Structure formats: structure tokens, C-alpha cells
Amino acid sequence: MVNSSPPQLRVTVVYAAAARRVQAVPLELNATSTVWQAVLASGLPALFPDLLATAPLMGVWGRKVAAGHLLRDQDRVELYRPLRVDPKVARRARFVKQGARTAGLFANRRAGAKPGY
């Protein structure tokens, strides 16, 4: 007997609406599915309507891809939210708040150690 069902892919679509609140949706899709089809099949746009307010950045295993990228078995599709603060600005603000003595590579020195070691 010949199996006439098309080959299936197992993928997971992941979105973090806020820090430490991750939604992961496992899916089984056709072998010719794209990243965008996986996002729509996950149901995440219905749970988070603001997700599609702008074109969301998407990636597979941490690497940015286009919406038409073809998926492979066991892929992890990630939806990225926009940054609210520039990381460089946030780092500078933390440095100013902490002060020069408590920040940086050599902040936690051994007692009695020479500077820079």
C-alpha cells in the first residue's frame, strides 16, 4: 500500500510578547511550507493583534529570514518584537548609574590584586 499523504514538517513557532513570557506553538505542516504560512497557522496573530500592525521580523534558529523562506523539519520559527531602547544607550545608562568602579572587566578583583589583573 502506498502512503499518499504529503510529507510533513514538524516546526515550532515562538513569540515572546513580553520579557519571560514565551508562547511556543508546535505545528505539523506540509513539506513546502514557508515561514509566513507557519506564523499564520500558529494562531499567534489572533492572540496578539499588534503583532501584524507592522511587518514582524522573523527568523529561524536566531537567523533573520524572509517571509517566503522554506522551512525544514525541526525548524524553530521566531518572531521578534522591536527594541524599545537602543542597546548602546541602555549600556551607557547602566554604566553611569553603576559608576566606573563597579563596572567593567576588572570590577570583581581579588583582594590585594594588582590593577588590571
Adjacency order of strands within the sheet including 63-65:
21-30, 8-18, 76-80, 57-60, 63-65
**For residue 70, what pLDDT is reported?**
96
Question: What are 54-104's pLDDT values in tens digits?
Answer: 888 999 999 999 999 999 999 999 999 888 888 899 888 887 877 656 656
> How sure is the predictor about 109, in pLDDT bands with cuts at 50, 70 and 90?
low
Which residue matches cell numbers 513570557?
Answer: 21
Q: What is the CATH number of domain 8-80?
A: 3.10.20.30
Buried b (16+ CB within 10 A) or exposed e, 2-36: eeeeeeebebebbbeeeeeeeeebebebeeebbbe
Q: Write out pLDDT tens, residues 21-63.
A: 999 999 999 999 999 999 999 999 999 888 887 888 999 999 9
C-alpha cell of 16?
515572546
pLDDT at 91: 85
HEC profile of the chain: CCCCCCCEEEEEEEEEEECCEEEEEEEEEECCCEHHHHHHHHCHHHHCHHHHCCCCEEEECCEEECCCCECCCCCEEEEECCCCCCHHHHHHHHHHHHCCCCCCCCCCCCCCCCCCC
Where along the chain do the CATH 3.10.20.30 domains lie?
Answer: 8-80
Q: What is the mean pLDDT of the chain?
A: 85
